[in-house]
Amino acid sequence: MLSKGIDVIEARNVIKKYGSVTALDDFSVEIPRGKIGILGPNGAGKSTFVKIALGLITANSGNVTVLGENLDKNSIDIRRKIGYMPEHDCIPNHLSGVEFLIEMGLVSGMDTPSATQRTHEILGHLQMGEEKYRKIEEYSGGMRQKIKLAQGLIHGPEIIFLDEPTSGLDPKARHEMLDTINGLTKVSNTNVLLSTHILQDVETVCDYVIIVNNGKLQMKESVDELMKKQNDFIQVRLGGDIDGFANILKKKKINLLSDGRTLRVPYVNDDTFQQIIDAAVENKSQLYEMERSKVTMDNVYLEVIE
């Protein structure tokens, strides 16, 4: 069991290259206990870092410890304490949910009675009833995701990696999956590393967020603290000379982000609305929309990687 105060994963100066491509460039991070979301665009190095932490590939240089143990020296022992829910569907359709999980328990080194008991405990926690006895080929997308999660938990891991766990789910199934993930640290004290492109999922369930880009750590922050720091913004849509309008605001020390003909202006107070109107008049721009909005994880993410 991981001692208090020890990070679940610690990477120090990790470099990983694929030929001439550097996937991780002197990458360092300390990942605390709890539920941690890891974000980054395609090719950012996120998947490479996860594979190294899982012991599936090795780094060219640097050091990684998982659950307080050196990955290079204790790879097999560490893997026994790790669970993994893959993004892609790789479960056998000809077995029932119960049969598959018992098999996975046996593969993990459990005896049949223990694997059977653990199977029913997990499926009960995942709120699967009689359907657990049906063939997996008959399962809905949400049920298949639950079985994939269950196989990652069967051996009682200290940390589980979840790769796009809500991908392709309808709103109801997605809500159920997020509720389940949210309860993992409470029910089983399992630490969670969530890799996803659905940023709202991170905002909903995670304690911390890590953003990776260009092979480097761009941000590690408590989700609650991060969102508290963010000011509201005013979404502005206008016609005419966008650059001229933006330059007028910048001269007034007002920063803004641009997405085509839509701008995001930080809200300071109600005077900000008047400053926008004045800039539009001065620039002879057509002002179509001004709307105050709350900052979301999507907004934070885009600011970090741009």
CATH 3.30.1540.20 fits 230-305, yes or no: no
pLDDT value for 187: 66
| Residue range 33-45: mean pLDDT, rounded | 92
CATH superfamily of 9-227: P-loop containing nucleotide triphosphate hydrolases (3.40.50.300)
pLDDT value for 96: 97
Residue 191 pLDDT > 90: yes
77: pLDDT confidence band, cut at 50, 70 and 90? Answer: confident
Domains in the chain: boundaries: 9-227, 230-305
What is the C-alpha to C-alpha distance for residues 199 and 38, in angstroms, rounded to an integer? 10
pLDDT in tens, 207-217: 999 999 999 99
| Residue range 6-27: mean pLDDT, rounded | 95
Residue 173 pLDDT > 70: yes
* pLDDT, the chain, mean: 90
Bridge partner residues of 257 (DSSP) = 264
pLDDT in tens, 90-148: 899 999 999 999 999 999 999 999 999 999 999 998 989 999 999 999 999 999 999 99
Cβ atoms of 146 and 128 closer than 8 Å: yes
Dihedral sign for Cα atoms in the order 125, 130, 136, 140: negative
pLDDT higher at 261 or 18 = 18
Q: Where are the beta strands (DSSP E) in 68-203?
A: 69-70, 82-85, 159-163, 191-195
The CB density around residue 158, as the number of other CB atoms within 10 Å, is 20
pLDDT value for 158: 94
pLDDT value for 254: 87
Residue 235 pLDDT > 70: yes
| Alpha-carbon torsion, ordered 54, 55, 61, 63, to 10 deg | 70
Residue 1 pLDDT > 70: no
pLDDT value for 5: 60
pLDDT in tens, 59-73: 999 999 999 988 777
**Closest listed residue to residue 56, CA positions, set 82, 33, 30, 26:** 82
Residues in the chain: 306
Q: In what order do the strands lie in the sheet with 233-239?
A: 257-259, 262-266, 233-239, 286-293
What 3-state DSSP class applies to 55?
A: coil
What pTM did the predictor assign? 0.80
